[in-house]
Structure 1
C-alpha cells in the first residue's frame, strides 16, 4: 500500500492511542462467574466460542496473535486460550513469556506505585500537587478547552494526588486535546506512549521533552482543560505521577518501579526499554488501514529497543503475560504474592476502589455508572484497564479471577474484537449454565 492511500486513514496519534473499546471491556470481562473447576482443565475446551474467535482472527490473518489468560485466586499459573506467532511473517509461537507493548495497562502499575508512597506516609490521597511540585501552585484553566491559551481563568481549587490517579485534575492529553492546547503539547514534547522509530504518514511525530522532569515542568506552564475535580477526562495525569514518584521517593521513576514492584513480584520481563538480548521475544505491532494489516513497529527495529526520553507511567511499559499475571495476582492477594507482602492490604483495597471526587460530573465520559481507582476502572469489585495496542487486564475480587487479553494492533477499535469477545464469552457461559443445570437436575 502506498503512502498516499495510507495517510487519509484515521491513524492520528489520537486514534492510535484510543483505548475506549478495551477499557470498557475490562470490568465486564472480570464480572463473569468463572469457577475453579473450569480452570483446572483445558480452558479452550471450556470456552469453545472464545477459542473459535481467536482462531478466526488468526486464520484470517487479521492479527498475528490473540492470546488470553485466565487465572484463579492464587493459583500460580494462568491458563490460556488462543495463540499465534510473534508476527505475521514469523514462525515463533507466542506464549506466556512473549513481550507485548502494554501501553495504558502501565497505568494501574503506576497507580499502585503511587499508593505505596501514600501507604508510606510520604503523601496523601488529597495532598495538593503543589506541595510536591510548586510549579503547579497557581494553575490557569481554559475558558474553552479548544480555545486560545490566553483565554483562561484561575483554577478554583488545587490539583490533588487523588485527581491525578483518577483523571479528574483537568489536565489534557495528546489523544483527547484539540486546538491550541494540543499544538502546545506537541511543541513542548508532552507526549506519552511511543509508536515507531519510522515516521508514519499522517501521524504527527513530536520530539519528546528531554526527560521526565522537563516534561513535567513544561506541563505546569500550560493551562488545564477543565477546572480540577469537575470532569473526568483521560489525561497526562498518570505520566505526571511518574515525576511525583521521583520527587517524593528520591529515586528515578523506573528504578522505583523495579525496586518496589517488579523485583519483589518476580516481574523479570517488564521494562520501558527491551534489552537487545530479549528482542527475539518481542511481538511485531501492526497498524490497520482500510482493513489492511501494515507493519507499524517491527520487533527487529522497535522503538522499544531505545531508551525513552520520557519514561511514561501512563503508557510506556513492555511486559509479558506471565509478568502481568503476577501483578494481577498480587492485587487479588491484597498485596501478597507467594507469601511475601509487596503492598499493604489497605493500599490495594483503597487503590482498587472508586476514588473519583464527589464533585466530578461524569456525564459524557467513559465512567458513566462506573468508578475509577488508582490508574484503572473500578466497578462492582473489579479493577482493570486496557492498552492502545489491544491488550487488556482485569481482576475480580468477588470471584478471585484474573484475566488478560494479548494482541498487538492499532488503533484498538479497528476491529470489533471487544463486542465479539464479550458475545463469545456470554455464549460459552450460557452453555456452562445449561450444563450445570442439567447436572443438578439429574
Structure 2
C-alpha cells in the first residue's frame, strides 16, 4: 500500500536534508559472536524481503542491500530501477547520494593523520586554523547572535570528529544563527538544481573550503566546546584541517590515501560524465507518491561542487562503500593490503566522546561516537556506522565480524521507518546464519 500523508506539502524536513540516520543503530540488540570458519545458513532472507517489499509496493523506485561477513565479497540484494519509468535496474554499481555517510570516511582520513603523528586527537584546531583561536559562544543556544560569552576551552580535533565542537548546522539551527549561516554560504551540501532546494534554506555556498572555514570561524558557537553532542558542520571543517596538515587538497587526500588503495573507483564528489548513466534519481515523498527531487539526468551532482563537502558530499556505489566497510572489519586491511593501521581503525571506531558527554535524545540516540560515525556501547560494542539523508545506511560490526549497507534514494528520511528497521532485520538474518560451517 502506498503511504498516505496529510496535506499536499512535500514532506522534506529542513532538519533531515543532510541529517543521517539517527537512532537506527541504537535499536540493534546484542547477538552472539561467530568465528570466521562459520557461514550463512541462507542468504539474508529478511533483508531481501524488505528490499522487495519496499520496491514492489511502490514506496521506493529501487533499493540495494550489500551484506557480508569478514572479508568475503558482499552479497547483493537489489530490486527496482535507477529511475522510475526508465530502463536500468539498480545494482551493486549504481550510484547513490550517500550524504552524511561521507562523515565516517572523512573521520577515517583524519585518523590516518593522527596515526602518523601529523595531527593530535586533542590538538586545538586553532594551531592549524588560527582564526578559530578566540571563539565566542551563544549565551542562549539559537538565541541572539550578539549575546555571547568567550569559549571556555579551545575546539579540538576530537571535538570535530564527534560533533562536540559547539559548531552549528544550517539544517539543525533555528532563528538568527540559522539565517546567518545561510547568508554566509555555510550550507554544507547540495540537494538539487530545482527551485525546491530553496525550501530547505539552500542558497549561495561558500566558493571554496578555505572560505567555508574562514566564514565558519566568524560565527558564534551554539554550545561550549566539549560539553554537548550537537550535529554540525564539524566534518566539513575537518576537510579543511586535513588539507592544511597534509599539504594536499581534501579530495586528493581521500583519493590517494583511501579510495585508490581500497579500489573505490565509483566514489566521487562529482559524477563524471562517463559514469552518469549509473546515477540514480533522488525522490521526495509527497502524498505517498515519489516525486523527482534530483533527477539523474539533470542532477546537481553532475556539476563541479563549490568544494568537497566532508560532511555530505560523496556519491558512491554499494560495492564501493562495502569495500570501505570490509577494510574496517579487516582493521585496516583489505584483500591482504594494509590501508590504515589497526590502531587507527580501533581508535576511530571507538567511543571518542569527551568525558561527561552523552547522546541520549540526539540523532546518535544514546550511543557513543567515533571518528564521524556512531560507535556502539554496551551490548552494541563494536558497531560503527552512520546514515545519509536520502535513505542510505551502512555499518560494520567489528566485534562480531559482519557488515551491512542499504542504498536507496528518498527524502525525508523519516517518511519511512527503513533506516530504523534495516539494522534489526539484518541482524536477525545474521543470527539465523550462525553455526553452519563454511565450505
TM over 0.5: yes
SS in 1 for 2:248: coil
Worse-superposed segment, 196-205 or 358-367: 358-367
How far 1:13 sits from its partner (Å)? Answer: 3.1
Matches within 5 A, 1:295-334: 295-334=292-331
Asked if 1 retains the 8 angstrom alpha-carbon contact of 2:353 and 2:369, the reply is yes
- From the superposition, tell whether residues 218 and 275 of structure 1 become closer, same or farther in structure 2 (CA, over 3 Å): same
Matches within 5 A, 1:211-290: 211-290=208-287
Residue-by-residue CA offset, 1:390-416 (whole Å, 9 max, x unaligned): 111111112111110111111111112
Asked if 1 retains the 8 angstrom alpha-carbon contact of 2:170 and 2:201, the reply is no
Number of the residue aligned with 2:387: 386
Asked if 1 retains the 8 angstrom alpha-carbon contact of 2:78 and 2:90, the reply is no
**1:293 lines up with 2:293 in the alignment:** no
Matches within 5 A, 1:127-206: 127-200=123-196, 202-206=199-203
SS in 2 for 1:81: strand
Worse-superposed segment, 398-407 or 219-228: 398-407
Matches within 5 A, 1:366-377: 366-377=363-374
Asked if 1 retains the 8 angstrom alpha-carbon contact of 2:26 and 2:366, the reply is no
**1:100 lines up with 2:101 in the alignment:** no
Q: Which has the higher helix share?
A: 1
SS in 2 for 1:323: helix
Number of the residue aligned with 2:84: 88
How far 1:417 sits from its partner (Å)? Answer: 1.7
TM-score, normalised to structure 1's length?
0.90
How far 1:422 sits from its partner (Å)? Answer: 5.1
SS in 2 for 1:402: strand
How many Å separate the matches in 2 of 1:393 and 1:223? 33
Worse-superposed segment, 88-97 or 245-254: 88-97
Asked if 1 retains the 8 angstrom alpha-carbon contact of 2:11 and 2:415, the reply is no
SS in 1 for 2:277: helix
SS in 2 for 1:24: coil
- From the superposition, tell whether residues 420 and 119 of structure 1 become closer, same or farther in structure 2 (CA, over 3 Å): closer
Number of the residue aligned with 1:25: 24
Q: 1:110 aligns with which of 96, 106, 111?
A: 106
CA RMSD between the two structures: 2.3
How many Å separate the matches in 2 of 1:419 and 1:65? 18
Residue-by-residue CA offset, 1:311-363 (whole Å, 9 max, x unaligned): 10000000111111111111111111122111111111100000000042545
Q: 2:53 aligns with which of 53, 56, 59?
A: 56
How far 1:365 sits from its partner (Å)? Answer: 2.4
Number of the residue aligned with 1:404: 405
Q: Which runs of 5+ in 1 are unaligned?
A: none
- From the superposition, tell whether residues 318 and 32 of structure 1 become closer, same or farther in structure 2 (CA, over 3 Å): farther
Q: Which runs of 5+ in 2 are unaligned?
A: 1-5
SS in 2 for 1:286: strand
**1:395 lines up with 2:396 in the alignment:** yes
How far 1:369 sits from its partner (Å)? Answer: 3.4
Number of the residue aligned with 1:415: 416
How many Å separate the matches in 2 of 1:30 and 1:92? 37
SS in 2 for 1:202: helix
Residue-by-residue CA offset, 1:289-318 (whole Å, 9 max, x unaligned): 222210011110110001110210000000
Query: How many residue pairs are counted as aligned between the two chains?
Result: 425
- From the superposition, tell whether residues 364 and 40 of structure 1 become closer, same or farther in structure 2 (CA, over 3 Å): closer
Q: 1:71 aligns with which of 51, 68, 82?
A: 68
TM-score, normalised to structure 2's length?
0.91
